[in-house]
Amino acid sequence: GMISKKKSDYSSAVSYYERALSVLEASYGRRHPMVGALMSELADVFRKTDRFDDAEKSYSSSIDILQDTLGALHPDLADPLNGLALVLKKKGFYADAEPLHQKCLQIITRAFPKGDHPKTALYLNGLADLKRKVGDFGSAEELYQQTLKITEARLGPDHSEVAEILNNLGLVHKKR
């Protein structure tokens, strides 16, 4: 599934992930962390193919399994929480997405307290996007600036991810 997903062969990825889920569930039971992790991978494919209801259901199942088996602050929980937040934002449920973004940041800063982890930048950027979409431009700008600092330090000032963040900052300033 992962290779198909990376190649953007999403129909094959879904097929492989669903088959792998059947095998894992038969081997370990439905409430196993590997099942939860794989459900998140499947949800990613659903999200990328605009199957938002399927993605929401799969992310929610993944989160439920991972919270029960690994704990509410385990780092493996952050990506499915972020994925669910992205789906909810796409569906226009900003108030539901925000606490998920906050939880991602709480998890990642607890696991990596220096605050310079690539996932920290990813989750800050997600929250900044939400703040921009709801018109909280001051918060959005602050969050994008934090994202920019981490990303520039990690990738250098000429990287495409830096350009994307700078573009987002420009969008914020345009709306102000």
- pLDDT value for 8: 86
pLDDT at 3: 87
Write down the H helix ranges in 49-159: 52-70, 78-90, 94-111, 118-133, 137-155
Structure tokens at 33: 């962390």
Per-10-residue mean pLDDT, the chain, length 176: 85 93 96 97 96 98 98 96 98 98 96 92 96 96 97 96 96 90
DSSP class per residue in 37-51: HHHHHHHHHHHHTT-
Q: Give residue 4's pLDDT.
A: 84
d(CA 169, CA 28): 46
* Interacting residues of 48 by C-beta distance below 8 A, sequence separation 6+: 5, 10
- pTM, entire model: 0.93
Q: Residue 32 is encoded by which pair of tokens?
A: 């196993």
pLDDT on residue 171: 94
Distance between CA atoms of residues 130 and 93, nearest Å: 10
pLDDT for res 93: 98
